[in-house]
Chain A
Amino acid sequence: MTQRLDIAADFKRVSPKYVLVVIVGSLIGGAMFSAAAAVVWLVGHAWWGWIALAMVLVITLVQLIIAPRRARAIGYQLRDDDLLLRRGIMFQRFVAVPYGRMQLVDVTRGPVSRVLGLADLKFVTAAASTNVAIPGLPESDAAELRDRLVELAESRRAGL
């Protein structure tokens, strides 16, 4: 009965080092929420504080466990005329964006990414909901992909 949404395509994975970025992000998020919950519990004397703290810890732990799978689930493929993106394990998401719809390409580096030599690439169209981002690309790959996408978009431009 249950059927996974899947598209048979030769997806490129992001750098394996991206797992570290996910882990650091989860740890920081977990630490902040834990601190908030601890303050509520110990300083605010709210009895439900310890429940919140336990939940935050459990969620952080789960995130850490699935981090490698999450990073592996991100895939992209440059098809002939469009970019195909795959994300998520529990909530799977597939997006196809024709190159011609590109408005701009953003390459950004967070602090952790920069240490690891990674960069995030974002493909922006006229629709805000498109939200196509490929995180965790090696810096040289990101620059290369950016130039390639601009070049592809240039040859397939559709007016807006």
Chain B
Amino acid sequence: MTTPHSPAGGVRPAPRTLTRYADGEWHRLHPATPLLKGGIALIAVLGVVIANLRERLIDFFFHTPNYGGDPIDAIYDRGLTGWALLVVAVVILGAIGGFYLSWRMHSFRIGDEAVEVRRGILSRSHRKARLDRIQGINVHRPLFARIFGAAKLEIIVAGHDANVHLEYLGSSLAEDLRRDILRLASGARAAATDAPLDAATPAELARGRRVTISGVVGNRVDEFLKPADLDPDAAPPASVVSMHPGRLAGSLVLSGFTVFLLIVAAAVTAGVLSGRYWILFVILPGMLGAFGFYTRRFGKSLRYSISGTADGVRIGFGLFATSSETLPPGRIHAVEVLQPLLWRPFGWWQIRINTAGHSRQKGAAGESNTTTLPVGSVGDVQKVLPLLLPGIADERRAAVALAGMTREADQSVFANAPRRARWLRPFSWRRTGYTIVDGVAVVRHGAIWRRIVFVPLARLQSVEIEQGPVRRMFDLAEAKLHTVEGPVHPRLSVIATDAALELFDLVSAGAIRWAASDTSHRWNRAVELRGSRSDPATLPTDTAARCSAPCGTGGVGPAPSEPASSVSAGPKNGGER
């Protein structure tokens, strides 16, 4: 597979909007990369050496009496000092040479079609990732690298261990590169982007101008104090949700882990009361670990931010080591709004997503990157959902989400399980239902863990209905929507048989139609296409096939001509091309 790449020819974006690193030529990483990669190890080795030679160094400087008997004495006594120094020098030079060589041999190239990385001295590896297959880009800054103003850029691709890592890059360069890669991946050409054209200029200037010591230090401080996700260019990112420390602490205290801790504490108390004091010593390390767990999660989520950009959703978090991930449009396969029982009195919700690729870095709250909103109110959820599900009309999405979250809202949106389902799901049958809005299947289920799951049909993999003997007795069935691996499992454990058949037809037809009209893998081109459309009413509207007449949301949308017959009115004949 070769790129039909020609640096000179072809249509490419105006050069000044791209950094010089995205010009389709090979470039090297940050010169301090080996130091940063082996940073902690290097310090550790130095520490060990110094600790071991402490006596020797004191002796060297202060001429204290010599007790003798260690290898260094032996070398000294036999007059091998010169040889020893030579060996040390060779080792050090070899290490430096090795590091230098590995840095020289490690290079990357960003072209119009793909991102490539070459690395390795003896065994070379060459990895090439197609730009239109990018699932997300993560800029991660570990504490050590942050001090030196460096960052890791991780390009997330579907597949096990398939991600492309560029570590390390200059901090602002990483941000610029992310923007450039996303712009190239979006299929945008020339002036088609709505990012500011002069965006690169300050960064370019910053690199170009003569660096003074105070300037460097000032930059470092600036970068350090900057929230994880606010880079100076690509301005929109003002987080739509602010993470309230009290709520964050509360959500951690009221987590399943706390319940586990309380059970352990009860067991320990019982043990101590019966005179087995040794239990305290056994449990002590665990307690310290638990404390660490809480503080780590708290610290990570504290500077959480989420915002929408032209190139997707940006999620940033982290206090010391920061991380900021961009998910381009059309990479989210399922969205779940979840509420554990303990959060219910406070009205807190969490949002998790399924994506095809996964970052190696841990996400907010120390959880995997699939947790998009660690904790938030109903209002926060309503602010985040538009970013994750841009395909649905705002009023309809808000109405469906509200109906899913609060009992007071209009419940007619969801086609719920029939009353006979109470024999199988005594608590949750009332909440088990689904609806289809604007090409997104919405499934609601669960009583203890309340869940509302959104599945964009364009990215649904397959749909399944199932009926065992027990469900057959009650004239019920089970339905599952299959998406890529992740924490979200959209399923309806009870649904009337005829409703299941209807869902099967609607969803399987919708999956085909919406995928055919989906252009999100080249999202800026899609914008161009959509921009050429005359009026918004021709946008595909299969308003909740479930909610024809009685449904409140059907009428809210931008004049859907005939919601009841919407099953047949797909994007194909809805004026897509």
Chain A interface residues (CB < 8 Å from chain B): 1-7, 81-82, 84, 90-98, 100-101, 125-130, 132, 156, 158-160
B465 touching A5 by the CB < 8 A rule?
Answer: yes
Q: Nearest Cβ in chain A — how far from B136, in angstroms?
A: 13
In the complex, the chain B residue whose C-beta lies closest to that of A125 is B461
A95 touching B462 by the CB < 8 A rule?
Answer: yes
A160 touching B133 by the CB < 8 A rule?
Answer: yes
Q: B500 in the interface, Cβ–Cβ < 8 Å? A: yes
Q: Nearest Cβ in chain B — how far from A86, in angstroms?
A: 10
Q: Which of B27-35, B61-69, B206-214, B510-518 contacts A (4 or more CB under 8 A)?
A: B510-518
In the complex, the chain B residue whose C-beta lies closest to that of A89 is B469
Q: Nearest Cβ in chain B — how far from A155, in angstroms?
A: 11
Q: Which of B40-48, B119-127, B481-489 contacts A (4 or more CB under 8 A)?
A: B481-489
Residues of chain B lying within 8 A (CB to CB) of residue A94: 464-466, 504
A127 touching B461 by the CB < 8 A rule?
Answer: yes
Residues of chain A lying within 8 A (CB to CB) of residue B477: 5
Separation of A95 and B500 alpha carbons in the complex (Å): 12
- What are 25 A-B residue pairs whose CB atoms fall within 8 Å in the complex? A2-B472, A2-B475, A3-B472, A3-B497, A4-B472, A5-B467, A5-B497, A92-B466, A93-B465, A94-B464, A95-B462, A95-B464, A96-B504, A96-B507, A98-B511, A100-B512, A101-B460, A101-B515, A125-B482, A126-B484, A130-B462, A130-B482, A158-B459, A158-B518, A159-B132
B356 touching A126 by the CB < 8 A rule?
Answer: yes
Tell me which of B158, B462, B473 has the highest count of chain A C-beta atoms within 10 A of its own C-beta: B462
Residues of chain B lying within 8 A (CB to CB) of residue A101: 460-462, 511, 515
Residues of chain B lying within 8 A (CB to CB) of residue A1: 473, 475
Please name 18 further chain A to chain B contacts, defined as beta carbons within 8 Å, in addition to the given A6-B501, A159-B133, A160-B158, sorted by A numbering.
A2-B472, A3-B497, A5-B497, A84-B508, A90-B468, A91-B469, A93-B465, A95-B462, A95-B463, A96-B507, A98-B462, A98-B515, A100-B512, A127-B484, A130-B482, A158-B515, A159-B520, A159-B521
B498 touching A82 by the CB < 8 A rule?
Answer: no
B467 touching A91 by the CB < 8 A rule?
Answer: yes
Q: Nearest Cβ in chain A — how far from B522, in angstroms?
A: 9
Interface residues in B, total, Cβ within 8 A: 40
Separation of A3 and B473 alpha carbons in the complex (Å): 8
Q: Nearest Cβ in chain A — how far from B520, in angstroms?
A: 8
Residues of chain A lying within 8 A (CB to CB) of residue B500: 5
Separation of A132 and B464 alpha carbons in the complex (Å): 10
Q: Nearest Cβ in chain A — how far from B506, in angstroms?
A: 11
- Chain A to chain B: the 10 pairs with minimum beta-carbon distance, closest first: A127-B461, A96-B508, A159-B521, A127-B482, A5-B467, A97-B462, A81-B512, A158-B515, A125-B461, A130-B462
In the complex, the chain A residue whose C-beta lies closest to that of B512 is A81
Residues of chain A lying within 8 A (CB to CB) of residue B482: 125, 127, 129-130
Q: B458 in the interface, Cβ–Cβ < 8 Å? A: yes
Residues of chain B lying within 8 A (CB to CB) of residue A95: 462-464
Query: Of A2, A93, A132, which one neighbours B466 at CB under 8 angstroms?
Result: A93
Q: B104 in the interface, Cβ–Cβ < 8 Å? A: no
Q: Nearest Cβ in chain A — how far from B264, in angstroms?
A: 34
Q: B480 in the interface, Cβ–Cβ < 8 Å? A: yes
Separation of A82 and B514 alpha carbons in the complex (Å): 13
Separation of A70 and B330 alpha carbons in the complex (Å): 40
Q: Nearest Cβ in chain A — how far from B469, in angstroms?
A: 6
Q: Nearest Cβ in chain B — how far from A100, in angstroms?
A: 6
B515 touching A96 by the CB < 8 A rule?
Answer: no
In the complex, the chain A residue whose C-beta lies closest to that of B457 is A98
Residues of chain B lying within 8 A (CB to CB) of residue A96: 462-464, 504, 507-508, 511
Separation of A93 and B504 alpha carbons in the complex (Å): 11
Q: Nearest Cβ in chain A — how far from B162, in angstroms?
A: 12
In the complex, the chain B residue whose C-beta lies closest to that of A159 is B521
Q: Nearest Cβ in chain B — how far from A75, in angstroms?
A: 15
Residues of chain A lying within 8 A (CB to CB) of residue B463: 95-96
Q: A3-B498, A7-B501, A159-B133 are in contact. Are A127 and B462 (CB under 8 A)?
A: yes
Q: Nearest Cβ in chain A — how far from B327, in angstroms?
A: 14
In the complex, the chain A residue whose C-beta lies closest to that of B420 is A1
Separation of A159 and B484 alpha carbons in the complex (Å): 13
Query: Of A2, A84, A126, A132, which one neighbours B473 at CB under 8 angstroms?
Result: A2
Q: Nearest Cβ in chain B — how far from A128, in angstroms?
A: 6
Q: Nearest Cβ in chain A — how far from B101, in angstroms?
A: 37
